[in-house]
Protein backbone atom coordinates (compact mmCIF):
# COMPACT_ATOMS: atom_id res chain seq x y z
CA UNK A 1 0.00 0.00 0.00
CA UNK A 2 1.35 3.42 -0.94
CA UNK A 3 1.33 5.90 1.93
CA UNK A 4 0.84 9.65 1.86
CA UNK A 5 4.19 11.42 1.72
CA UNK A 6 3.00 14.78 3.05
CA UNK A 7 4.03 14.03 6.64
CA UNK A 8 7.64 14.94 5.68
CA UNK A 9 8.76 11.90 7.66
CA UNK A 10 8.07 13.53 11.02
CA UNK A 11 7.24 10.07 12.37
CA UNK A 12 10.80 8.99 11.55
CA UNK A 13 12.51 11.77 13.50
CA UNK A 14 12.80 9.79 16.73
CA UNK A 15 14.62 6.97 14.96
CA UNK A 16 16.89 9.40 13.15
CA UNK A 17 17.62 11.23 16.39
CA UNK A 18 18.90 8.01 17.94
CA UNK A 19 21.44 7.71 15.09
CA UNK A 20 22.31 11.39 14.86
CA UNK A 21 24.51 11.50 17.98
CA UNK A 22 26.95 9.01 16.45
CA UNK A 23 26.78 10.85 13.12
CA UNK A 24 27.76 14.18 14.66
CA UNK A 25 30.68 12.51 16.44
CA UNK A 26 31.93 11.13 13.13
CA UNK A 27 31.50 14.44 11.32
CA UNK A 28 33.27 16.23 14.18
CA UNK A 29 36.16 13.77 14.03
CA UNK A 30 36.49 14.32 10.28
CA UNK A 31 36.67 18.07 10.82
CA UNK A 32 39.17 17.62 13.65
CA UNK A 33 41.40 15.80 11.20
CA UNK A 34 40.82 18.38 8.46
CA UNK A 35 41.78 21.21 10.81
CA UNK A 36 44.93 19.38 11.82
CA UNK A 37 45.92 18.98 8.17
CA UNK A 38 45.24 22.66 7.54
CA UNK A 39 47.05 23.82 10.67
CA UNK A 40 43.93 25.64 11.87
CA UNK A 41 41.76 25.75 14.98
CA UNK A 42 38.31 26.61 13.67
CA UNK A 43 36.24 25.57 10.66
CA UNK A 44 33.52 27.97 9.53
CA UNK A 45 30.98 26.18 7.34
CA UNK A 46 28.71 28.55 5.41
CA UNK A 47 25.24 27.38 4.31
CA UNK A 48 25.34 29.58 1.22
CA UNK A 49 23.00 32.16 -0.21
CA UNK A 50 20.45 32.36 -3.04
CA UNK A 51 21.67 33.51 -6.44
CA UNK A 52 20.12 36.52 -8.12
CA UNK A 53 19.02 36.32 -11.75
CA UNK A 54 21.00 38.54 -14.09
CA UNK A 55 19.55 42.06 -14.43
CA UNK A 56 16.73 41.19 -12.04
CA UNK A 57 15.96 40.94 -8.33
CA UNK A 58 14.55 37.42 -8.62
CA UNK A 59 16.19 34.86 -6.35
CA UNK A 60 17.01 31.49 -7.88
CA UNK A 61 16.00 28.41 -5.84
CA UNK A 62 18.38 28.05 -2.91
CA UNK A 63 20.83 25.13 -3.04
CA UNK A 64 22.66 24.74 0.28
CA UNK A 65 26.34 23.95 0.73
CA UNK A 66 26.50 20.14 1.03
CA UNK A 67 29.17 20.47 3.72
CA UNK A 68 26.62 22.39 5.82
CA UNK A 69 23.84 19.84 5.21
CA UNK A 70 26.14 16.99 6.23
CA UNK A 71 26.18 18.56 9.71
CA UNK A 72 22.45 19.12 10.06
CA UNK A 73 19.27 18.64 7.97
CA UNK A 74 18.86 22.37 7.32
CA UNK A 75 18.24 22.70 3.60
CA UNK A 76 16.33 26.02 3.72
CA UNK A 77 18.62 28.10 5.90
CA UNK A 78 20.65 30.59 3.84
CA UNK A 79 23.17 33.05 5.32
CA UNK A 80 23.87 30.74 8.28
CA UNK A 81 27.11 29.29 9.64
CA UNK A 82 28.41 26.39 11.65
CA UNK A 83 31.49 27.15 13.73
CA UNK A 84 33.46 24.06 14.65
CA UNK A 85 36.33 24.35 17.10
CA UNK A 86 38.41 21.34 17.98
CA UNK A 87 37.27 19.86 21.29
CA UNK A 88 34.13 22.00 21.57
CA UNK A 89 30.46 21.61 20.67
CA UNK A 90 29.68 23.18 17.29
CA UNK A 91 27.99 26.57 17.17
CA UNK A 92 25.11 27.11 14.76
CA UNK A 93 24.66 30.75 13.75
CA UNK A 94 21.01 30.56 12.73
CA UNK A 95 19.94 33.39 10.44
CA UNK A 96 16.32 34.34 11.10
CA UNK A 97 15.72 37.74 9.52
CA UNK A 98 12.90 40.12 10.24
CA UNK A 99 11.20 39.93 6.86
CA UNK A 100 7.63 40.43 5.69
CA UNK A 101 8.36 39.59 2.04
CA UNK A 102 9.20 35.93 2.60
CA UNK A 103 8.58 33.11 5.04
CA UNK A 104 11.52 33.12 7.43
CA UNK A 105 13.06 30.03 9.08
CA UNK A 106 11.07 28.89 12.08
CA UNK A 107 12.25 27.78 15.51
CA UNK A 108 15.62 26.08 15.64
CA UNK A 109 14.44 22.74 16.96
CA UNK A 110 14.41 19.09 15.97
CA UNK A 111 16.30 15.91 16.73
CA UNK A 112 19.57 17.64 15.76
CA UNK A 113 19.22 20.84 17.80
CA UNK A 114 20.55 19.66 21.17
CA UNK A 115 23.94 18.95 19.58
CA UNK A 116 24.56 22.64 18.75
CA UNK A 117 25.08 25.85 20.63
CA UNK A 118 22.44 27.77 18.67
CA UNK A 119 22.83 31.53 18.22
CA UNK A 120 19.88 33.27 16.55
CA UNK A 121 20.79 36.33 14.48
CA UNK A 122 18.39 38.68 12.72
CA UNK A 123 20.84 40.55 10.50
CA UNK A 124 23.92 39.43 8.59
CA UNK A 125 26.04 41.98 10.40
CA UNK A 126 25.31 40.18 13.69
CA UNK A 127 27.11 37.06 12.47
CA UNK A 128 30.56 38.53 13.15
CA UNK A 129 30.18 38.64 16.94
CA UNK A 130 29.70 34.85 17.03
CA UNK A 131 32.81 34.03 14.99
CA UNK A 132 36.26 33.43 16.52
CA UNK A 133 38.19 36.66 16.96
CA UNK A 134 41.42 35.24 15.56
CA UNK A 135 40.37 34.92 11.93
CA UNK A 136 43.85 33.76 10.94
CA UNK A 137 43.19 30.51 12.82
CA UNK A 138 40.03 29.84 10.82
CA UNK A 139 39.30 28.06 7.57
CA UNK A 140 36.16 28.84 5.59
CA UNK A 141 34.26 25.99 3.92
CA UNK A 142 31.72 26.95 1.29
CA UNK A 143 31.06 29.17 -1.70
CA UNK A 144 31.26 32.94 -1.41
CA UNK A 145 30.32 35.40 -4.12
CA UNK A 146 30.66 38.34 -1.74
CA UNK A 147 33.87 38.67 0.26
CA UNK A 148 31.91 40.26 3.08
CA UNK A 149 30.27 36.90 3.80
CA UNK A 150 33.70 35.49 4.78
CA UNK A 151 34.06 38.12 7.54
CA UNK A 152 37.80 38.50 7.03
CA UNK A 153 38.63 34.79 6.86
CA UNK A 154 41.24 34.48 4.13
CA UNK A 155 41.72 30.72 3.96
CA UNK A 156 38.75 29.61 1.84
CA UNK A 157 38.40 25.89 1.05
CA UNK A 158 42.06 24.99 1.64
CA UNK A 159 42.98 21.93 -0.38
CA UNK A 160 44.32 19.74 2.41
CA UNK A 161 41.19 20.09 4.52
CA UNK A 162 38.71 19.89 1.66
CA UNK A 163 40.33 16.82 0.13
CA UNK A 164 40.19 14.99 3.46
CA UNK A 165 36.54 15.90 3.99
CA UNK A 166 35.57 14.87 0.46
CA UNK A 167 37.38 11.56 0.64
CA UNK A 168 35.81 10.65 3.98
CA UNK A 169 32.32 11.62 2.85
CA UNK A 170 32.33 8.66 0.47
CA UNK A 171 31.57 6.42 3.47
CA UNK A 172 28.12 6.99 4.92
CA UNK A 173 27.21 6.96 8.61
CA UNK A 174 24.31 4.88 9.92
CA UNK A 175 22.27 8.08 10.20
CA UNK A 176 22.93 8.92 6.55
CA UNK A 177 22.06 5.40 5.46
CA UNK A 178 18.75 5.58 7.33
CA UNK A 179 17.85 8.82 5.57
CA UNK A 180 18.88 7.45 2.17
CA UNK A 181 16.58 4.46 2.68
CA UNK A 182 13.76 6.93 3.23
CA UNK A 183 14.77 8.87 0.10
CA UNK A 184 14.77 5.61 -1.87
CA UNK A 185 11.29 4.76 -0.65
CA UNK A 186 10.02 8.23 -1.49
CA UNK A 187 11.51 7.95 -4.98
CA UNK A 188 10.05 4.48 -5.50
CA UNK A 189 6.58 5.80 -4.68
CA UNK A 190 7.05 8.49 -7.31
CA UNK A 191 8.16 5.94 -9.88
CA UNK A 192 5.04 3.82 -9.28
CA UNK A 193 2.87 6.90 -9.82
CA UNK A 194 4.79 7.85 -12.97
CA UNK A 195 4.43 4.38 -14.47
CA UNK A 196 0.68 4.49 -13.82
CA UNK A 197 0.48 7.86 -15.61
CA UNK A 198 2.44 6.40 -18.54
CA UNK A 199 0.07 3.42 -18.73
CA UNK A 200 -2.84 5.89 -18.80
CA UNK A 201 -1.37 7.50 -21.93
CA UNK A 202 -0.37 10.81 -20.38
CA UNK A 203 2.08 13.32 -21.85
CA UNK A 204 5.57 13.73 -20.43
CA UNK A 205 4.61 16.92 -18.60
CA UNK A 206 1.67 15.22 -16.91
CA UNK A 207 3.79 12.20 -15.94
CA UNK A 208 6.26 14.59 -14.37
CA UNK A 209 3.45 16.28 -12.43
CA UNK A 210 2.19 12.90 -11.22
CA UNK A 211 5.67 12.06 -9.99
CA UNK A 212 6.11 15.36 -8.15
CA UNK A 213 2.73 15.00 -6.47
CA UNK A 214 3.53 11.47 -5.31
CA UNK A 215 6.87 12.49 -3.75
CA UNK A 216 5.47 15.80 -2.44
CA UNK A 217 8.13 17.89 -4.17
CA UNK A 218 7.93 21.04 -6.22
CA UNK A 219 10.56 21.18 -8.96
CA UNK A 220 13.27 23.04 -6.98
CA UNK A 221 13.02 20.41 -4.23
CA UNK A 222 13.91 17.57 -6.60
CA UNK A 223 17.55 16.43 -6.34
CA UNK A 224 17.88 16.94 -10.11
CA UNK A 225 15.63 17.73 -13.04
CA UNK A 226 13.46 14.73 -13.80
CA UNK A 227 14.23 12.87 -17.02
CA UNK A 228 10.82 11.87 -18.41
CA UNK A 229 11.20 10.54 -21.94
CA UNK A 230 8.59 8.85 -24.13
CA UNK A 231 9.58 6.89 -27.22
CA UNK A 232 12.74 8.19 -28.95
CA UNK A 233 13.26 10.79 -26.20
CA UNK A 234 14.63 7.94 -24.09
CA UNK A 235 17.78 8.12 -26.22
CA UNK A 236 18.57 11.64 -24.98
CA UNK A 237 20.62 10.97 -21.86
CA UNK A 238 19.53 14.15 -20.05
CA UNK A 239 16.15 14.73 -21.67
CA UNK A 240 14.18 17.37 -19.71
CA UNK A 241 12.03 19.14 -22.33
CA UNK A 242 8.71 17.53 -21.26
CA UNK A 243 6.28 17.60 -24.18
CA UNK A 244 2.84 18.87 -23.18
CA UNK A 245 0.98 16.52 -25.55
CA UNK A 246 1.41 12.75 -25.78
CA UNK A 247 2.79 11.31 -29.03
CA UNK A 248 0.35 9.82 -31.53
CA UNK A 249 1.73 6.36 -30.75
CA UNK A 250 3.20 5.59 -27.32
CA UNK A 251 5.86 2.88 -27.40
CA UNK A 252 8.18 3.28 -24.43
CA UNK A 253 8.97 5.30 -21.33
CA UNK A 254 12.29 6.06 -19.61
CA UNK A 255 12.19 7.83 -16.24
CA UNK A 256 15.26 8.93 -14.29
CA UNK A 257 14.00 10.67 -11.15
CA UNK A 258 14.93 10.88 -7.49
CA UNK A 259 13.71 12.36 -4.25
CA UNK A 260 15.10 14.20 -1.24
CA UNK A 261 14.78 13.51 2.47
CA UNK A 262 16.61 15.81 4.90
CA UNK A 263 19.01 16.85 2.14
CA UNK A 264 19.97 13.34 0.98
CA UNK A 265 19.04 12.05 -2.46
CA UNK A 266 17.88 8.96 -4.24
CA UNK A 267 18.57 8.50 -7.97
CA UNK A 268 16.44 5.86 -9.70
CA UNK A 269 15.88 4.95 -13.34
CA UNK A 270 13.38 2.55 -14.89
CA UNK A 271 12.31 1.82 -18.47
CA UNK A 272 8.93 0.48 -19.59
CA UNK A 273 7.37 -0.87 -22.76
CA UNK A 274 3.82 0.03 -23.79
CA UNK A 275 3.12 -3.50 -24.98
CA UNK A 276 5.81 -4.21 -27.59
CA UNK A 277 7.04 -7.70 -26.65
CA UNK A 278 10.43 -7.47 -28.35
CA UNK A 279 11.24 -4.23 -26.55
CA UNK A 280 10.00 -5.69 -23.25
CA UNK A 281 12.27 -8.68 -23.78
CA UNK A 282 15.19 -6.28 -24.26
CA UNK A 283 14.26 -4.46 -21.03
CA UNK A 284 14.16 -7.80 -19.23
CA UNK A 285 17.62 -8.68 -20.54
CA UNK A 286 18.97 -5.32 -19.38
CA UNK A 287 17.36 -5.72 -15.98
CA UNK A 288 18.93 -9.15 -15.52
CA UNK A 289 22.32 -7.79 -16.61
CA UNK A 290 22.00 -4.86 -14.21
CA UNK A 291 21.29 -7.24 -11.34
CA UNK A 292 24.32 -9.34 -12.27
CA UNK A 293 26.43 -6.17 -12.00
CA UNK A 294 24.85 -5.21 -8.66
CA UNK A 295 25.71 -8.65 -7.31
CA UNK A 296 29.40 -7.92 -7.95
CA UNK A 297 29.40 -4.87 -5.69
CA UNK A 298 31.37 -5.44 -2.50
CA UNK A 299 34.32 -4.07 -0.54
CA UNK A 300 37.59 -4.23 -2.49
CA UNK A 301 36.13 -4.10 -5.99
CA UNK A 302 37.76 -1.60 -8.34
CA UNK A 303 34.86 0.26 -9.96
CA UNK A 304 36.87 0.66 -13.15
CA UNK A 305 36.81 -3.13 -13.50
CA UNK A 306 33.03 -3.08 -13.15
CA UNK A 307 32.85 -0.50 -15.95
CA UNK A 308 34.89 -2.67 -18.32
CA UNK A 309 33.04 -5.81 -17.24
CA UNK A 310 29.73 -4.12 -17.95
CA UNK A 311 30.78 -3.41 -21.53
CA UNK A 312 31.72 -7.06 -21.99
CA UNK A 313 28.35 -8.15 -20.63
CA UNK A 314 26.62 -5.63 -22.87
CA UNK A 315 28.49 -6.98 -25.88
CA UNK A 316 27.00 -10.40 -25.23
CA UNK A 317 23.56 -8.90 -24.78
CA UNK A 318 23.82 -6.97 -28.06
CA UNK A 319 24.68 -10.19 -29.88
CA UNK A 320 21.88 -12.15 -28.21
CA UNK A 321 19.40 -9.36 -29.07
CA UNK A 322 20.64 -9.34 -32.69
CA UNK A 323 21.74 -5.70 -32.48
CA UNK A 324 25.39 -6.59 -33.11
CA UNK A 325 27.62 -9.50 -34.11
CA UNK A 326 31.11 -10.52 -33.05
CA UNK A 327 32.98 -11.47 -29.90
CA UNK A 328 32.92 -9.17 -26.83
CA UNK A 329 36.54 -8.05 -27.11
CA UNK A 330 36.07 -7.00 -30.72
CA UNK A 331 32.88 -5.09 -29.93
CA UNK A 332 34.73 -3.23 -27.17
CA UNK A 333 37.84 -2.51 -29.20
CA UNK A 334 35.94 -1.22 -32.23
CA UNK A 335 33.75 1.07 -30.13
CA UNK A 336 30.45 -0.71 -30.73
CA UNK A 337 29.55 -1.04 -27.06
CA UNK A 338 30.46 2.59 -26.37
CA UNK A 339 28.15 3.73 -29.15
CA UNK A 340 25.25 1.95 -27.47
CA UNK A 341 26.38 2.78 -23.90
CA UNK A 342 28.37 6.03 -23.83
CA UNK A 343 28.11 7.03 -20.15
CA UNK A 344 29.60 5.68 -16.93
CA UNK A 345 28.21 2.79 -14.93
CA UNK A 346 27.62 4.84 -11.80
CA UNK A 347 28.69 7.44 -9.24
CA UNK A 348 28.75 8.09 -5.53
CA UNK A 349 25.46 9.24 -4.01
CA UNK A 350 24.61 11.12 -0.82
CA UNK A 351 24.02 14.72 0.11
CA UNK A 352 24.75 15.40 -3.55
CA UNK A 353 23.42 13.34 -6.44
CA UNK A 354 26.91 13.10 -7.92
CA UNK A 355 28.64 13.08 -4.58
CA UNK A 356 32.20 14.33 -4.33
CA UNK A 357 35.29 12.17 -4.08
CA UNK A 358 34.53 9.68 -6.82
CA UNK A 359 37.98 10.07 -8.43
CA UNK A 360 40.05 10.25 -5.23
CA UNK A 361 42.64 7.57 -4.47
CA UNK A 362 43.30 8.98 -1.01
CA UNK A 363 42.65 12.00 1.18
CA UNK A 364 45.56 13.94 -0.32
CA UNK A 365 43.53 14.38 -3.51
CA UNK A 366 45.45 12.04 -5.81
CA UNK A 367 43.19 11.45 -8.81
CA UNK A 368 42.42 8.06 -10.36
CA UNK A 369 41.70 8.59 -14.05
CA UNK A 370 38.89 6.71 -15.82
CA UNK A 371 40.02 3.80 -18.00
CA UNK A 372 40.91 4.62 -21.59
CA UNK A 373 37.84 5.00 -23.75
CA UNK A 374 35.50 5.69 -20.80
CA UNK A 375 35.84 9.44 -20.16
CA UNK A 376 32.43 9.88 -18.54
CA UNK A 377 32.90 7.41 -15.68
CA UNK A 378 32.33 9.38 -12.44
CA UNK A 379 33.61 6.74 -9.99
CA UNK A 380 37.10 5.23 -10.24
CA UNK A 381 37.77 4.29 -6.61
CA UNK A 382 38.15 0.90 -5.00
CA UNK A 383 34.88 0.33 -3.15
CA UNK A 384 34.84 0.68 0.63
CA UNK A 385 32.31 -0.33 3.25
CA UNK A 386 29.22 1.92 3.51
CA UNK A 387 29.78 3.73 0.25
CA UNK A 388 26.49 4.27 -1.57
CA UNK A 389 26.65 4.34 -5.35
CA UNK A 390 24.49 3.98 -8.41
CA UNK A 391 24.57 1.07 -10.83
CA UNK A 392 23.02 2.28 -14.09
CA UNK A 393 23.92 0.46 -17.31
CA UNK A 394 22.18 1.67 -20.44
CA UNK A 395 21.50 0.75 -24.05
CA UNK A 396 20.45 3.57 -26.40
CA UNK A 397 19.87 4.26 -30.06
CA UNK A 398 21.88 7.48 -30.47
CA UNK A 399 22.19 8.16 -34.20
CA UNK A 400 25.10 10.57 -33.83
CA UNK A 401 27.25 7.91 -32.12
CA UNK A 402 26.22 5.04 -34.37
CA UNK A 403 26.86 7.09 -37.51
CA UNK A 404 30.42 7.60 -36.26
CA UNK A 405 30.91 3.86 -36.77
CA UNK A 406 30.21 4.10 -40.48
CA UNK A 407 33.30 3.56 -42.55
CA UNK A 408 35.19 1.96 -39.65
CA UNK A 409 35.80 -1.72 -38.78
CA UNK A 410 32.86 -1.42 -36.37
CA UNK A 411 30.30 -0.88 -39.12
CA UNK A 412 30.14 -4.56 -40.07
CA UNK A 413 29.50 -5.54 -36.44
CA UNK A 414 26.27 -3.53 -36.20
CA UNK A 415 23.02 -5.11 -37.37
CA UNK A 416 21.52 -2.02 -38.93
CA UNK A 417 18.05 -3.50 -39.52
CA UNK A 418 17.73 -4.12 -35.78
CA UNK A 419 19.02 -0.61 -35.14
CA UNK A 420 16.18 0.73 -37.28
CA UNK A 421 13.70 -1.32 -35.24
CA UNK A 422 15.02 0.04 -31.92
CA UNK A 423 15.13 3.71 -32.97
CA UNK A 424 11.47 4.60 -32.16
CA UNK A 425 11.88 3.21 -28.62
CA UNK A 426 14.85 5.41 -27.72
CA UNK A 427 16.72 3.43 -25.13
CA UNK A 428 16.86 1.59 -21.83
CA UNK A 429 18.45 2.47 -18.51
CA UNK A 430 18.01 0.60 -15.22
CA UNK A 431 19.44 2.30 -12.12
CA UNK A 432 19.59 1.21 -8.48
CA UNK A 433 21.22 2.79 -5.43
CA UNK A 434 23.50 0.28 -3.72
CA UNK A 435 25.33 0.24 -0.39
CA UNK A 436 28.71 -1.50 -0.32
CA UNK A 437 29.25 -4.21 2.31
CA UNK A 438 31.97 -6.78 3.05
CA UNK A 439 31.26 -9.70 0.69
CA UNK A 440 27.75 -8.33 0.19
CA UNK A 441 25.67 -5.30 -0.72
CA UNK A 442 22.36 -3.62 0.16
CA UNK A 443 20.12 -2.58 -2.72
CA UNK A 444 18.27 0.43 -1.33
CA UNK A 445 16.17 0.79 -4.49
CA UNK A 446 14.93 -2.77 -4.87
CA UNK A 447 14.20 -2.92 -1.13
CA UNK A 448 12.19 0.30 -1.41
CA UNK A 449 10.05 -1.01 -4.26
CA UNK A 450 9.50 -4.27 -2.38
CA UNK A 451 8.09 -2.36 0.60
CA UNK A 452 5.33 -0.62 -1.38
Residues 361, 430 share a domain: yes
User: Does a structural domain hold residue 343?
Assistant: yes
Domain edge (last residue) among 168, 195, 223: 168
User: Does a structural domain hold residue 324?
Assistant: yes
State residue 188's pLDDT score. Answer: 98
Residues 192, 314 share a domain: yes
Q: Which of 302, 301, 320, 285 is nearest to 394 (CA)?
A: 285
Question: Which domain CATH number covers 315?
Answer: 3.90.230.10
Contact yes or no for 203/246 (Cβ under 8 A): yes
Residues 220, 160 share a domain: no
Domain edge (last residue) among 168, 187, 214: 168
Residues 276, 366 share a domain: yes
State residue 10's pLDDT score. Answer: 53
Residues 374, 307 share a domain: yes
User: Does a structural domain hold residue 1?
Assistant: no
User: Does a structural domain hold residue 80?
Assistant: yes
Structural domain containing residue 363? 174-450
Structural domain total, the chain: 2
**Buried-state track 61-95, b at ≥16 Cβ within 10 A, e below 16:** ebebbbbbbbbbbbbebbbbbbbbbeeeebbbbbb
Order across the sheet with 268-273: list the strands: 227-230, 252-257, 268-273
Residues 55, 198 share a domain: no
State residue 11's pLDDT score. Answer: 53
Q: Spell out the residues 6+ positions from residue 442 whose beta carbon is closer than 8 angstroms to its own.
A: 434, 435
Residue 314: Cβ within 10 Å count: 27
User: Does a structural domain hold residue 342?
Assistant: yes
Domain edge (last residue) among 108, 139, 168: 168
Residues 228, 367 share a domain: yes
Residues 248, 226 share a domain: yes
User: Does a structural domain hold residue 4?
Assistant: no
Contact yes or no for 188/268 (Cβ under 8 A): yes
Question: Which domain CATH number covers 59?
Answer: 3.40.350.10
Q: Tens place of pLDDT for every residue, the chain, 452 residues?
A: 233 343 445 556 778 999 999 999 999 999 999 999 999 999 999 999 999 999 998 899 999 999 999 999 999 999 999 999 988 999 999 999 999 888 899 999 999 999 999 999 999 999 999 999 999 999 999 999 899 999 999 999 999 999 999 999 999 999 999 999 999 999 999 999 999 999 999 999 999 999 999 999 999 999 999 999 999 999 999 999 999 999 999 999 999 999 999 999 999 999 999 999 999 999 999 999 999 999 999 999 999 999 999 999 999 999 999 999 999 999 999 999 999 999 999 999 999 999 999 999 999 999 999 999 999 999 999 999 999 999 999 999 999 999 999 999 999 999 999 999 999 999 999 999 999 999 999 999 999 999 99
User: Does a structural domain hold residue 56?
Assistant: yes
Cα–Cα dist 423/232, whole Å: 6
| N-term to C-term CA, the chain | 6
Residues 401, 291 share a domain: yes
State residue 86's pLDDT score. Answer: 86
Cα–Cα dist 20/256, whole Å: 30
State residue 101's pLDDT score. Answer: 87
Residues 250, 334 share a domain: yes
Phi, psi angles (nearest 5°) of residue 33: -65, -40
Phi, psi angles (nearest 5°) of residue 130: -105, 0
Amino acid sequence: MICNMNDDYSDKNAALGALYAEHIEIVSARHDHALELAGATHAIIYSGNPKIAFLDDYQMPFKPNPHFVSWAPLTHLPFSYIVFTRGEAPILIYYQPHDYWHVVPGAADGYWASHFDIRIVHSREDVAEHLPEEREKCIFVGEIDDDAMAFGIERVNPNAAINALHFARGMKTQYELAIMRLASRRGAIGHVAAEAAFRDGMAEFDIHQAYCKAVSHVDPELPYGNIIGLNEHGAVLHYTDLDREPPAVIRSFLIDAGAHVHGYASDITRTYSFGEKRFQDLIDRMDAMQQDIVNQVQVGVDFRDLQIGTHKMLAGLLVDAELANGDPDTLLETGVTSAFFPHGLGHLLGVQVHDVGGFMENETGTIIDPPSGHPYLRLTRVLEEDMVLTIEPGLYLIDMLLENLRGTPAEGHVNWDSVDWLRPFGGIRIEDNVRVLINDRENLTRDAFAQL
